[in-house]
Structure 1
Amino acid sequence: MSEPAGLQSGTTAATVELEQLTKRYPGSPQPVVDNVTLTIRAGETAVLVGPSGCGKSTILKMINRLVEPTGGRVRVGGEDVGAMDPVGLRRRIGYVTRASGLFPHMTVAQNIALVPEMSGWPRARIRARVEEMLDLVGLDPVEFRDRHPRGLSGGQRQRVAVARALAADPPVLLMDEPFGAVDPVTRDHLQGELIRVQGELHKTIVFVTHDFDEAIRLGDRIAVLRERSHIAQYDTPESILTNPADDFVSGFAGGGAALKRLSLTRVREVDIAAYPTLTVDDPLQEIFNKLRASVTNEILLLDQRGRPYKWLRRGDLMRAKGSLARAGTLVNDTVPRDATLRDALEAVLTDSAGRVAVTGRRGEYAGVVDVETLMNTVHELLEADRLEAMETRHALEEMRATQTHAEQEGEGGGQMT
């Protein structure tokens, strides 16, 4: 059986279409998934969010035929998955679960190489792909490739699971509450890593969660599901926050829409200041001179790989008697350019100086964002919400007035007749 065009190796992304998709289990009075029609655009992250038991995980499993639909169909890249070999289909769709699903007797490298090996890739290509995938998810290949899952933390196992799911370069990635079993700090980091990885790869991702904050942070579009997967609203996070379709959606989204929208804006979208920097290898006199000339009263010292290392202020070197080892304050927190403004605001608020260093993909220095910039953005979001709410209210009032006028004219016409 030839490989469908939409699922060929190297295809960046593919559209996923659900057409009147239904799943009914024997003996159940109601279907778990009832007549769902939904289109997920190629290259987008679509998040299915809803209460427990609404069928969102069942939808995910019907896409790769771990669960067979009772009715309707799924198309991936224009191809009906019901006509495909299910084993071959699953090899071409990445799948990450809450429990990672790594094989404990295999090394990290063997787990990642599994699908490429089954697909007949040459050994040299597989080795290179394993290294590439570990690097992509932020794990040092030298340190991690020969380790076993039992020797990894929960967050590291999930990173390896993502690397394995992406190893054969699938156009579609299914993620079923992949970060639900890790602690909040690790979960936050993994979400940030997924945002970064998606920014590089542009896969089609279908992500299941019950956490609306996670949904608005990760999703290009969100499907808010009721019981039996009835779609209450399918829209962008911004639209759902500012114009919820009904009370169910509004209640599920919760309050604080303007602050939630901080999760929709990336650090790269705001003004990142260029702080004066030097490296640990620069002469002390040059560091002195730059500190004296700095209008910010401080400089950022970078390590030998160009990563933020220490904040140095005037007087630090004098108090430390000219020794860089004892001078300044270590950089304890940074945010990547793909981080959300919410991440940046949390980092800034825990820093007494009210700023945080911004980094690139490999941790290299990219600039600094401060509390003033972030607060200005918050005010802009609040003002945008206020104006949009006013426009919506005025539009509704005009629509009601027009409707009332038309009804009155209709009644008058009837009397004349």
Structure 2
Amino acid sequence: MPETTGTSGASIELENLTKRYPGTPRPAVDNVTMEIKAGELVVFVGPSGCGKSTTLKMINRLIEPTGGRIRINGEDVTDRDPVKLRRKVGYAIQSAGLFPHMTVAQNIALVPKMIGWGKGRINDRVEELLDLVGLDPGEFHGRYPRGLSGGQQQRVGVARALAADPPVLLMDEPFGAVDPITRDHLQDELIRLQHELHKTIVFVTHDFDEAIKLGDRIAVLRERSHIAQFDTPEAILTNPADDFVSGFVGAGAALKRLNLTRVRDVEITDCPTVTVDDPVQEIFTRLRGSGTNEILLLDERGRPYKWLRRGDMMRAKGALARAGTLVSDTVTRDATLRDALEAVLTDNAGRVAVTGRRGEYTGVVDMETLMNSVHELLEADRLEAREHQHALEEIRAAQTHAEQEGA
């Protein structure tokens, strides 16, 4: 695969950005001013109809602003040719928006072809991007969107948005139409991609948990895109600016902080494994000698396939097709502890397999590790609450003293 080298992110400045539609008494977006740093992933979150998607679409001028300025890397793009601007700003939407009559490769190659890249360079870029988003180029290059799952289509949509190596990527609820497990994995992929590419990403969602998981900073937007709070996920969870923001945080802020810690930040252990190509007798021998009651069966690509237990093997008379329990869920190192905890509870077996970018087995995380992390977060919250209370008491004591002195 060609080495991934390219353009990193660009700063974005919105200055008094406004959108008014004819015949409406109030603007849809009202005087939004915001600075997004180069290489930052910023999430817009807010209630339906608050203007978050309208604000996003004004950045690449899919919707023309009525007033205000947009600067990308210091350059005012408000009056630039909008078509040329969009070719330098990646855009990914819900349900991918792929052209059904084009192959995967043709969809990805669309913008590079428009801006005049050579055929060889385009082919290399398509192969590079398919690999980058976790799709085998040999398998997916010539396929059509109708033959892909929702998650695969969404990965191709992200690859297409990145095709011309833009510094800015706009994402409008891109994972909203897929099932929860696929959505978790797509979020993990985006986190991994951002670690590698360092683009400036502006991401719209109505899901506050998704915002916590993905954002370097979160802009909580009220009606007409008024900014209620623009801060890090940690700051918003621990110090919401007002009741409106508190409503988004909701109950269980400490547990929501599980979305701030990644699987890579905790201990990943190993477990005994065998592959579907191993002789059955060898699997029996490994299972007996493992010191545990179960062993993980990997498929021909090294991906978690089944959990095999001693009793399963005995009852199935050694037939692997009938033995064991299918692995129902896995997590990557970029998954959050909340993802891992949900997977462990769903599987009801006390552990979850951790996989690499192509789904290959890399280890396991167990319930004990996850519960220890939960207890540490809760204890940190209790300590912070005590310190906050102590600070308030000192302030009140100082005020009382000052009043007594004044009297």
What TM-score does the superposition give when structure 1 sets the normalisation length?
A: 0.88
- The one of 209, 221, 231 equivalent to 1:213 is 209
Offset, 1:201: 2.2
Whether 1:385 aligns to 2:348 is: no
Q: Is the 8 A contact 2:95 2:150 kept in 1?
A: no
Offset, 1:326: 4.7
- Post-superposition CA distance 1:216-271 (Å, at most 9, x none): 12212111111222211111112211111111100122111122222221111111
Q: Give the Cα–Cα distance (whole angstroms) in 2 for the partners of residues 238 and 172 of structure 1.
A: 25
Identify if the C-alpha distance between structure 1 residues 39 and 355 changes in structure 2 by more than 3 Å, giving closer, same or farther. Answer: same
Offset, 1:49: 0.7
Give 2:68's aligned residue. 72
Offset, 1:10: 2.5
Q: Give the Cα–Cα distance (whole angstroms) in 1 for the partners of residues 285 and 97 of structure 2.
A: 55
Give 1:164's aligned residue. 160
Name whichever of 364-373 and 276-285 sits farther off. Answer: 276-285
Whether 1:245 aligns to 2:241 is: yes
Whether 1:130 aligns to 2:126 is: yes
| Secondary structure in 1 matching 2:26 | coil
Name whichever of 248-257 and 67-76 sits farther off. Answer: 67-76
| Secondary structure in 2 matching 1:350 | helix
Identical pairs, percent? 80
Give 1:307's aligned residue. 303
Give 1:5's aligned residue. none
Give 1:356's aligned residue. 352
- The one of 241, 266, 271 equivalent to 2:267 is 271
Give 1:399's aligned residue. 395
| Secondary structure in 2 matching 1:234 | strand
Identify if the C-alpha distance between structure 1 residues 88 and 270 changes in structure 2 by more than 3 Å, giving closer, same or farther. Answer: same
Alignment of 1:34-113 (within 5 A): 34-113=30-109
Offset, 1:99: 4.6
Offset, 1:300: 2.5
Identify if the C-alpha distance between structure 1 residues 100 and 328 changes in structure 2 by more than 3 Å, giving closer, same or farther. Answer: closer
Q: Is the 8 A contact 2:184 2:335 kept in 1?
A: no
Offset, 1:115: 0.4
RMSD of equivalent CA atoms: 2.5
Offset, 1:371: 1.1
Offset, 1:166: 0.8
Identify if the C-alpha distance between structure 1 residues 246 and 296 changes in structure 2 by more than 3 Å, giving closer, same or farther. Answer: same
Letter in 1 for 2:293: N
Letter in 1 for 2:84: G
Q: Give the Cα–Cα distance (whole angstroms) in 2 for the partners of residues 352 and 26 of structure 1.
A: 56
Q: Give the Cα–Cα distance (whole angstroms) in 1 for the partners of residues 142 and 279 of structure 2.
A: 41
Q: Count residues in correspondence.
A: 403
Offset, 1:359: 0.8
Q: Give the Cα–Cα distance (whole angstroms) in 1 for the partners of residues 180 and 305 of structure 2.
A: 26
Letter in 2 for 1:395: A
Name whichever of 234-243 and 345-354 sits farther off. Answer: 345-354
**Structure 1: gaps of 5 or more residues:** 1-8, 413-417
**Structure 2: gaps of 5 or more residues:** none
Identify if the C-alpha distance between structure 1 residues 52 and 328 changes in structure 2 by more than 3 Å, giving closer, same or farther. Answer: closer
Name whichever of 148-157 and 158-167 sits farther off. Answer: 148-157
Offset, 1:154: 3.6
Give 2:220's aligned residue. 224
Q: Give the Cα–Cα distance (whole angstroms) in 1 for the partners of residues 82 and 124 of structure 2.
A: 28
What TM-score does the superposition give when structure 2 sets the normalisation length?
A: 0.90
Letter in 1 for 2:124: A
